[in-house]
C-alpha cells in the first residue's frame, strides 16, 4: 500500500501552498495571461477584426503557403524520422552515437544561423549547390523549396525524439517472434513495428506540425528581402505589426496560437501517461 | 511490550486497509506480519514507522506515545521491498547517512560503518555505488543502513519480495542469524507463510484489515483459529465435512471403522519424496492425501485401488465451512 | 552463505536490452539515403558557415571582439541567457516538483501551459508578451525596447526545458527513498538537499544546457519586443542578420560559428548527462 505522498508526518501544508501559488502565479504571468490577451485583442471589435483579416488576399495567401510548407516539411521529416529511428535503435553502424547526437543539433542552432547556412550553400549566385541548380532553372533559396528546407531543419529532431524511446522500450522480441512465425522484414515492419510506434509517430507529427507552422527566423532569412508571394503567416505578422496594422497582426497571431494550442491539446488527450511531453527531454 | 498498536483504523478512499487493529509486539523478538497482498499488513508497518498516518487509533513505541510523531523522530529502522537505496551515494555513504544526520563524530561514524558492513558481508563493496550491487547485496546494504542508527525497532516491508527464490532463502536464514546476534525488536511483513514459519518467533496473521490470529509458528500451524488461518498456513483438504491437512490423513487398504471414508484412488502424482494421491470418495467428493514415497509403496497404491481414509491421531481439524466460519476447533 | 550472493537484480524497472543487429543491404541503403538528406540539409550548410568564416582568417573572429557593437550584443546575449537559465533552474525544478508531487484541480491545464512557449510561433510569442507587458498593456509596464523585454522573451521561450527534463526523473524517483531518509532521521529540508536534489542535478543541468542554447540563439520573439537597439537591446542573432544584410558574409559566418560552437557544447553536455543518468539506473 505505498501511498503517493512521501512521509505524511513530514509534510508542511504551508510549504505546499506556497509552492503551488508560486508556480501557478509564475505560469499565469509568463504564459497564460499574455496568451489570453492575444485572444482578447483579436476580438476587441467582435468578429470584425478576424473577418477583415481573412478578406485580405495577402493574409489568405500567407496562411495557405504556411500550411502547404508545413505539410511538406512534416511529410519529409516523417519519412526521415521513422527511418532514422529504426536505424538508430535496431542497427549497429560506425558513427551511430555521433549521428544520434548530431540529429539533436537543430534544436540548439539559432534560426538565423540555419537561414544563413542554407543561403550560403543554396544561393543561386554563389552557393556551392545553388549555382549549378540555378543554371538548370531550379531555385531553392528565395523560393518555396528553401522555405520548406528551413522548416525541415528546425523541426528535424522532433519525430526521431518521439520514436526512439518507444522503440527502445518495445524491445525487439515481438519482431523476432514475427520473424519466427515466417514474416519477412516488410510484413514485420508493417504488422508489428509500425503498430507499436504509431502513437509516437502521431505525437511527433503533431508537434512537428506546430513547430513548422510557426517557424520565423530561418524562413525570414531564406525567403530573402523581396518577399512577394513567399510570405508565410509569421512573416506577415511581423510586417503587418510594424506597418501599424495591429488588428491584422493580432488576428493572424490568434489563428497561429489556436493551431499551436490545438496541437498540444491533441497530444495531451492522445497520450496515455503524463510522463511524456512536447518539449524535448532527456532520453532515459 | 515494545510496540503497542491500539484500535487502528485506516481507509484509502473506499478501501478499508485497517479495521480496528490492536496488537502488541514483544521486545527483542522477530515478529512476522503475515497475510495475503492487500490485506493491510504493509499499511500497519508504515503507520508504525510514521510513513502513513492512521485515521484513528494509537501507536506506542517503547512506552512512548508515537501516534503523531514524524518518522524522523521515531527512531525506527525501515527496510523497503525495493531497497530504496540512495543511488548517488556509495555503499558506505548510504550506511553512514543516518549517523551523519545525527551529527556523530567522523571517527565514530567510520568505525560504525565498518562494523556494520562487516556484519552484512559488504566490506569489500564499501566504495561502490549501489547500482554495481546485486539485489540481495542492495537489500543487505539497506539493512545495514537501517541498523546504523541503533533503532529501537527494525521494520522490514516484504524485504525479500523482490529477490529470486534462492537468494531469498539465503537471506531469510541470514536475517534469523543476524537477529540472534543483534536482538533488536524486528517486525517484518511477508505474504509467504513458509518464510514466516521459518524465521519468526511470533506471527500476526492479518487479512482484510483485521488480525486473524497471533501466536508462535507452532501454535498457528497446530491450532489455527479459523479456516482462513488454517488455509493460509498450509494445504487443506476436506474429508467427510472436516477440513484437515492432506498429510494428516491415514490411508488403509482394508475396510476401517464406520467413521472412515471409503473411495477409489483416481490420480497419483509423485513429487520428490512425497506422493500426492487424489481419492474420489464414494459420495463423489475429492480428497487430497499426501504420503511419503515409502508409505505409498508399502500400501502398494495404484489408480483404481480401493482405500479407506480417516483423520490421523492428533490431526488438526476444523469443521469445514464456506468463508470466514466461526472457529470450531476440534481435536480428533 | 550470503556473501556468495551475486545473482541478478530483482524486478527493478529494467529496460529490456535490445542488441542492435548488423546492417543489412536494405538498412544500408536507407542509412545512405538518410545521410545524404541529412548532409544536404544540415551538415553541409553548417559546414559552409564554418568554411565561409575561415575565408576571412582569424581577423574576422577578432573583429567580433573588437567591434564594440558585436561584442556588446554577445555580452548581452550571454548575460541574459545565463540569467534566465539560472531562473529556469530554480523555477523549472519547482514547477516540475509541483506537477509531479502536488495534487490539485486544474493541474492538467498547467501541464499543458508549460508546452505553449515551445509550440507557439516565436514572432507570436513576442507579440503576446508585448500585449501584456508593453506600453499598451493593462499593467502599465513599458518593457518594449528595454533589456527587461529581452530577459522576459528569453525566459518565456526557455521555460519548458528544465521542467521537462526534471519531470520524468522526479516521476521515476520512488517516494520510498525519501521515506527511507525520513525514517533515518532526516528532516524534509535535509532530505531534499541530500537525497532529492543530487538525483535531479543531472536532469537540471541537461535542461539548463538546452535552455542556455535556446537563449543564445533566440531571434523571433525579440523582433517586435526588443526594438533591436544597438549596444542596448541588440542580441547576437540580430547582429548576424544585420551583418549579413550589410553584405559582410565572412563576418556574419564567423559570429554564427561562435553561436554554433556554443550549441555544439550544449548538445555534447546533454549527451554526456543522458549517459550518466542511464548508467546510474
| Environment class of C6 (CB within 10 Å of its CB; exposed 0-12, middle 13-18, buried 19+) | exposed
Helix H or strand E segment including B186: strand B185-190
On chain B, the residues whose CB falls within 8 A of the CB of C9 are 134-135, 138
* DSSP code of residue B37: T
Residue B320's pLDDT is 63
At residue B106 the predicted structure's pLDDT band, cuts being 50, 70 and 90, is very high
Average pLDDT in chain A = 83
- Any C CB within 8 A of B97 CB: yes
Band of the pLDDT at B321, cuts 50, 70, 90? low
pLDDT in tens, B224-247: 988 899 988 888 998 888 888 999
C194 touches chain B (CB under 8 A): yes
CA dist., res. A152 & res. C29, Å (int): 22
The answer to whether A215 and A151 are in contact (CB under 8 A) is yes
* Model pLDDT for residues A199-253, shown as the tens digit of each residue: 889 889 998 999 899 899 899 888 877 666 778 888 888 888 888 888 888 899 9
In a domain, A200, yes or no: yes
Grid cell listed for A185: 522484414
Q: Which of A217-226, C40-49, C267-276 bottoms out in mean pLDDT, i.e. has the lowest?
A: C267-276
Q: Once rounded to an integer, what is the mean pLDDT over residues B210-215? A: 93
Name the CA radius of gyration of chain C, rounded. 23
Q: Write the residue in C7, C179, C198 that is nearest to B51 by C-beta.
A: C179
Integer distance in angstroms from the first to the last C-alpha of chain A?
Answer: 27
Query: CB distance from C9 to chain B under 8 Å?
Result: yes
All chains having 3 or more CB pairs closer than 8 angstroms to chain B: A, C
Cβ distance A1 to B40 less than 8 Å, yes or no, reads yes
Q: Give the CA count within 13 Å in the CB-facing half-sphere of A79.
A: 13
Number of domains forming the structure of chain A:
1
Residues 165-224 of chain B whose Cβ lies under 8 A from any Cβ of chain C: 166-167, 170-171, 174
The three cell numbers of residue C50 are 564554418
> Chain B 226-255, CB below 8 Å of chain A: which residues?
none
Q: Is the pLDDT of residue A79 over 90?
A: yes
β pairing state of B30-34 and B185-190: parallel
> Are the beta carbons of C100 and C173 closer than 8 angstroms?
no
Summarize the confidence of residues C180-200 as an average pLDDT.
89
Segment B258-269, tens digit of pLDDT:
778 899 999 999
pLDDT band of B327, cuts 50, 70, 90: very low
Q: How many CB pairs under 8 A join A and C?
A: 342
Q: Which of B51, B137, B174 sits opposite C183 (nearest CB)?
A: B51
Chain B closest-CA separation from residue C6 CA (Å) = 6
Mutate which of A3, A5, A6, A9 to test chain B, going by most B C-beta atoms within 10 A?
A9
Exposure class string for B262-280: b at 16+ Cβ within 10 A, else e: ebebeeeeeeeebbbbbbe
Cell numbers found for residue C271 = 549527451
d(CA B45, CA B57): 14
Q: What is the pLDDT of residue C15?
A: 42
The pLDDT, as a whole number, for residue A54 is: 87
Chain B: closest CA distance from residue A278 (Å): 28
Looking at residue A27, what is its pLDDT?
92
Report yes or no on A147 lying in a domain.
yes
Question: Residue A11's pLDDT is what?
Answer: 60
Q: Which domain, by its residues, includes A60?
A: 49-273
> Beta strand B3-12 with B15-25: parallel, antiparallel or unpaired?
antiparallel
Give CA–CA dist C212/C86, Å, rounded: 9
Categorize the per-residue pLDDT at A104 as very low, low, confident or very high, splitting at 50, 70 and 90.
confident
- % of chain A beyond a pLDDT of 90: 26
- Among A96-100, B58-62, C267-271, the least confident range: C267-271
**What pLDDT does residue A142 have?**
83
- Judged by a CB distance cut-off of 8 A, whether residue C43 touches chain A is yes
pLDDT at B329 over 60: no
Sign for the CA dihedral angle at B108, B110, B114, B119 comes to positive
Measured between beta carbons, which residues in chain C are less than 8 angstroms from residue B162?
10-12
| pLDDT exceeds 50 at position C274 | yes
Has residue A36 been placed in a domain? Answer: no
Closest alpha carbon within chain B to A7 = B51
pLDDT reported for residue A23? 92
Q: How far is the C-alpha of C239 from the C-alpha of C236, rounded, in Å?
A: 5
Of all residues in chain C, the percent with pLDDT exceeding 90 is: 29
CA distances from A279 to A132, A236, B35, C165, C179 (A): 39, 26, 45, 9, 31
Is A70 a domain residue?
yes
The span from the CA of C203 to the CA of C173, in Å, is 12
Closest by Cβ to C278, choosing from A31, A210, A284: A284
Q: What is the pLDDT of residues A151-183, one digit of tens each?
A: 999 999 999 988 988 888 887 778 888 877 778
Answer whether residue C18 shows pLDDT above 70.
Answer: no
Which C residues, 128 through 167, put their C-beta within 8 Å of a C-beta on chain A?
A: 128-129, 131-133, 137-138, 152, 155-156, 159-161, 163-165, 167
Domain C57-280: give its CATH code: 1.10.3720.10
Q: What are chain B's domains? A: 3-228 (3.40.50.300), 235-329 (2.40.50.100)
Residue of C nearest to A17 (CA): C102
Lowest mean pLDDT among A227-231, B98-102, C127-131: A227-231
Question: Average pLDDT for residues B114-120, to the nearest whole number?
Answer: 91
pLDDT tier at B332 (50, 70, 90 boundaries)?
very low
Q: How many Å separate Cα A279 from the centre of its chain? A: 10
Average pLDDT, chain B: 88
Q: Cβ contacts of residue A168 below 8 Å, gap of 6+?
A: A89, C15, C18
Cα separation, B308 vs B259, in Å, equals 10
Distance of CA A92 to the CA centre of its chain: 28
Which positions ≥6 away from A221 have C-beta within 8 Å? A111, A112, A114, A115, A116, A118, A119, A150, C241, C244
Q: How far is the CA of C209 from the CAs of A73, A131, B282, B297, C3, in angstroms?
A: 27, 38, 79, 76, 43
Chain-centre distance of CA B154, in angstroms?
15
Q: Mutate which of A84, A116, A119, A157 to test chain C, going by most C C-beta atoms within 10 A? A: A116
Integer CA distances (angstroms), B263 to B246, B310, B311, in order: 15, 11, 15
Torsion of CA A82, A83, A85, A89, to 10 degrees: 140
* Mutate which: B61, B163, B179, B181, vs C, most C CBs within 10 A: B163
A9-61 pLDDT per residue, tens: 446 788 888 999 999 999 999 899 888 888 888 888 778 878 888 888 889 98
The string of DSSP letters for B265-276 reads EEEEEEETTEEE
Taking residues B200-226, what's their average pLDDT? 92
User: CA of B90: which chain C residue's CA is closest?
Assistant: C280
Predicted model pTM: 0.80
Q: How many whole angstroms separate alpha carbon C97 and alpha carbon C200?
A: 11
Question: Which range has the worst mean pLDDT, A118-122, A203-207, B139-143, B321-325?
Answer: B321-325
Which range has the worst mean pLDDT, A130-144, B86-100, C120-134?
A: A130-144
Give the strands of the sheet with B15-25, arranged side by side. B15-25, B3-12, B56-61, B64-65
* ipTM score assigned to the predicted complex: 0.84
Min Cα distance B90 → chain C (Å) is 12
C-alpha distance from B328 to closest chain A C-alpha (Å)? 33
% of chain A at pLDDT higher than 70 = 90
- Grid cell listed for A129: 549547390
Q: Which residues of A touch C21 (CB under 8 A)?
A: 90-92
| Mean pLDDT within B130-145 | 91
The C-alpha atoms of residue B58 and residue B62 are separated, in whole angstroms, by 13
Selected for mutation to probe chain A from B12, B50, B51, B209 (highest A CB count within 10 Å) is: B51
For chain A, give the number of residues: 284
Say if CB A113 and CB C260 are below 8 A apart. yes
Residue C24 reports pLDDT greater than 90: no
What SS3 class is residue B15? strand
The answer to whether the Cβ–Cβ distance between B136 and C176 falls below 8 Å is no
| Beta carbon pairs, A and B, within 8 Å | 30
Q: What is the pLDDT of residue C150?
A: 93
Q: Write the DSSP symbol of residue A91.
A: B
A145 in a structural domain: yes
User: Which pLDDT band, with edges at 50, 70 and 90, does A115 fall under?
Assistant: very high
- Give the neighbours of chain C: at least 3 Cβ pairs within 8 Å: A, B
What angle do the packed helices C68-101 and C147-172 form, to 10 degrees? 40
For residue range B152-208, what is the model confidence (pLDDT) as tens digits? 899 999 988 878 888 888 888 888 988 888 888 999 999 999 899 999 999 999 999
Question: Going by C-beta distance under 8 Å and a sequence separation of 6 or more, which residues neighbour residue B103?
Answer: none
Q: What is the pLDDT of residue C279?
A: 63
CB contact under 8 A, A108 and C266: yes
Per-residue confidence (pLDDT) for residue A272, from 0 to 100: 62
Cβ–Cβ below 8 Å for B163 and C187: no
Our CA-based measurement puts residue C106 at a distance from the nearest CA of chain B, in whole angstroms, of: 21
C-alpha cell read off for C132: 501584456
Identify the pLDDT of residue A102. Answer: 86
Number of residue pairs across B and C with CB atoms under 8 Å? 112
d(CA C152, CA C130): 10
Q: C237 and A118 in contact by Cβ < 8 A?
A: no
Best mutation target among B10, B71, B191 (most A Cβ atoms within 10 Å) is: B71
Give me the CATH number covering residue A229. Answer: 1.10.3720.10
**CB-based contact, B135 to chain C, within 8 Å:** yes
Sketch the domain layout of chain C as residue ranges.
57-280
Give the gap in angstroms from C-alpha C156 to the nearest C-alpha of chain B: 33
- Report yes or no on A182 lying in a domain: yes
A98 by Cβ neighbours in 10 Å (0-12 / 13-18 / 19+) ranks as: exposed
- In this prediction, residue B211 has a pLDDT band, given cuts at 50, 70 and 90, of very high
Give the tens place of pLDDT for each residue, B26-48: 888 999 999 998 888 999 999 99
**What are A54's three cell numbers?**
481573412
**Pairwise pLDDT comparison (B311 vs B321), residue with the higher score:** B311
Residue A40 falls inside a structural domain: no
Amino acid at each position: 500500500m505505498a501511498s503517493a505522498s512521501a512521509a505524511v508526518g513530514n509534510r508542511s501544508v504551508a510549504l505546499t501552498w506556497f509552492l503551488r501559488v508560486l508556480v501557478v502565479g509564475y505560469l499565469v504571468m509568463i504564459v497564460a495571461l499574455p496568451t489570453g490577451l492575444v485572444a482578447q485583442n483579436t476580438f476587441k471589435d467582435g468578429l470584425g477584426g478576424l473577418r477583415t483579416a481573412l478578406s485580405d488576399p495577402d493574409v489568405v495567401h500567407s496562411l495557405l503557403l504556411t500550411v502547404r510548407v508545413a505539410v511538406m516539411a512534416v511529410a519529409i521529416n516523417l519519412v526521415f524520422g521513422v527511418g532514422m529511428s529504426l536505424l538508430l535503435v535496431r542497427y549497429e553502424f560506425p558513427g551511430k552515437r555521433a549521428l544520434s547526437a548530431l540529429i539533436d543539433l537543430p534544436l540548439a542552432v539559432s534560426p538565423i544561423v540555419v537561414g544563413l547556412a542554407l543561403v550560403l550553400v543554396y544561393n543561386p549566385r554563389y552557393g556551392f549547390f545553388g549555382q549549378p541548380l540555378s543554371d538548370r532553372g531550379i531555385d531553392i533559396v528565395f523560393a518555396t523549396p528553401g522555405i520548406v528546407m528551413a522548416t525541415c531543419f528546425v523541426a528535424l529532431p522532433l519525430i526521431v525524439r518521439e520514436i526512439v524511446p518507444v522503440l527502445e522500450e518495445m524491445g525487439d522480441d515481438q519482431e523476432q517472434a514475427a520473424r519466427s512465425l515466417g514474416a519477412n522484414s516488410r510484413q514485420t515492419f508493417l504488422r508489428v513495428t509500425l503498430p507499436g510506434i504509431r502513437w509516437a509517430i502521431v505525437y511527433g507529427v503533431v508537434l512537428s506540425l506546430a513547430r513548422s507552422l510557426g517557424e520565423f527566423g530561418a524562413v525570414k532569412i531564406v525567403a530573402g528581402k523581396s518577399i512577394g508571394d513567399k510570405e508565410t503567416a509569421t512573416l506577415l505578422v511581423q510586417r503587418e505589426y510594424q506597418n501599424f496594422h495591429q488588428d491584422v497582426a493580432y488576428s493572424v497571431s490568434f489563428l497561429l496560437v489556436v493551431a499551436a494550442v490545438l496541437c498540444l491539446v491533441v497530444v495531451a488527450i492522445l497520450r496515455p501517461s503524463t510522463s511524456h511531453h512536447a518539449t524535448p527531454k532527456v532520453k532515459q | 511490550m515494545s510496540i503497542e498498536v491500539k484500535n487502528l483504523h485506516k481507509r484509502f478512499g473506499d478501501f478499508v486497509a485497517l479495521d480496528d487493529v490492536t496488537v502488541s509486539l514483544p521486545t527483542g523478538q522477530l515478529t512476522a506480519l503475515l497475510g495475503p497482498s492487500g490485506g493491510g499488513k504493509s499499511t500497519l508497518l508504515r503507520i508504525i514507522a510514521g510513513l502513513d498516518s492512521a485515521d484513528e487509533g494509537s501507536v506506542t513505541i517503547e512506552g512512548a506515545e508515537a501516534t503523531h510523531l514524524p518518522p524522523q523522530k521515531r527512531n525506527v529502522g525501515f527496510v523497503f521491498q525495493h531497497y530504496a537505496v540512495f543511488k548517488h551515494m556509495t555503499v558506505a555513504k548510504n550506511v553512514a547517512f543516518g549517523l551523519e544526520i545525527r551529527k556523530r563524530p567522523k571517527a565514530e561514524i567510520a568505525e560504525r560503518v565498518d562494523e556494520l558492513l562487516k556484519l552484512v558481508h559488504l566490506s569489500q563493496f564499501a566504495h561502490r555505488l549501489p547500482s554495481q550491487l546485486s539485489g540481495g547485496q542492495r537489500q543487505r546494504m539497506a539493512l545495514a543502513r537501517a541498523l546504523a542508527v541503533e533503532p529501537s525497532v527494525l521494520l522490514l516491508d516484504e524485504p525479500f519480495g523482490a529477490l529470486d527464490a534462492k537468494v531469498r532463502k539465503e537471506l531469510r536464514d541470514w536475517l534469523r542469524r543476524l537477529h540472534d546476534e543483534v536482538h533488536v525488536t524486528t517486525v517484518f511483513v511477508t505474504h509467504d507463510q513458509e518464510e514466516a514459519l521459518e524465521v519468526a518467533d511470533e506471527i500476526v496473521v492479518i487479512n482484510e484489515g483485521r488480525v486473524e490470529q497471533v501466536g508462535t509458528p507452532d501454535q498457528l500451524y497446530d491450532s489455527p483459529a479459523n479456516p482462513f488461518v488454517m488455509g493460509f498456513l498450509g494445504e487443506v483438504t476436506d474429508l467427510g465435512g472436516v477440513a484437515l491437512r492432506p498429510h494428516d490423513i491415514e490411508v488403509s487398504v482394508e475396510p476401517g471403522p464406520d467413521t472412515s471414508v471409503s473411495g477409489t484412488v483416481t490420480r497419483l502424482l509423485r513429487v520428490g519424496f512425497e506422493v500426492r494421491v487424489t481419492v474420489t470418495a464414494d459420495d463423489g467428493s475429492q480428497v487430497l492425501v499426501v504420503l511419503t514415497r515409502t508409505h505409498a509403496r508399502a500400501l502398494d497404491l495404484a489408480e483404481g485401488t480401493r482405500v479407506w481414509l480417516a483423520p490421523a491421531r492428533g490431526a488438526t481439524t476444523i469443521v469445514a465451512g464456506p468463508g470466514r466460519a466461526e472457529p470450531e476447533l476440534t481435536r480428533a | 552463505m550470503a556473501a556468495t550472493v551475486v545473482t541478478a537484480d530483482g524486478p527493478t524497472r529494467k529496460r529490456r536490452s535490445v542488441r542492435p543487429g548488423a546492417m543489412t543491404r536494405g538498412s544500408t541503403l536507407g542509412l545512405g539515403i538518410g545521410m545524404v538528406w541529412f548532409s544536404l540539409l544540415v551538415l553541409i550548410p553548417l559546414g559552409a558557415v564554418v568554411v565561409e568564416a575561415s575565408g576571412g582568417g582569424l581577423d574576422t573572429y577578432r573583429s567580433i571582439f573588437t567591434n564594440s557593437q558585436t561584442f556588446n550584443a554577445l555580452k548581452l546575449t550571454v548575460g541574459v541567457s545565463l540569467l534566465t537559465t539560472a531562473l529556469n533552474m530554480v523555477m523549472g525544478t519547482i514547477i516540475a516538483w509541483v506537477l509531479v508531487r502536488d495534487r490539485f484541480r486544474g493541474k492538467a491545464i498547467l501541464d499543458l501551459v508549460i508546452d505553449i512557449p515551445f509550440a507557439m510561433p516565436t514572432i507570436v510569442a513576442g507579440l503576446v508578451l508585448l500585449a501584456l507587458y508593453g506600453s499598451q498593456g493593462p499593467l502599465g509596464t513599458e518593457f518594449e525596447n528595454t533589456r527587461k523585454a529581452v530577459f522576459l522573451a528569453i525566459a518565456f521561450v526557455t521555460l519548458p526545458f528544465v521542467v521537462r527534463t526534471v519531470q520524468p526523473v522526479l516521476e521515476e524517483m520512488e517516494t520510498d527513498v525519501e521515506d527511507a531518509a525520513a525514517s533515518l532521521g532526516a528532516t524534509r529540508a535535509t532530505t531534499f538537499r541530500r537525497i532529492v536534489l543530487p538525483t535531479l542535478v543531472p536532469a537540471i543541468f541537461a535542461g539548463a544546457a538546452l535552455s542556455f542554447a535556446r537563449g543564445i540563439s533566440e531571434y523571433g520573439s525579440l523582433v517586435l519586443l526588443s526594438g533591436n537597439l544597438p549596444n542596448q537591446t541588440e542580441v547576437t542573432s540580430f547582429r548576424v542578420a544585420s551583418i549579413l544584410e550589410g553584405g559582410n558574409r565572412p563576418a556574419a559566418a564567423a559570429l554564427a560559428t561562435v553561436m554554433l560552437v556554443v550549441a555544439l557544447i550544449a548538445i555534447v553536455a546533454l549527451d554526456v548527462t543522458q549517459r550518466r543518468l542511464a548508467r546510474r539506473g
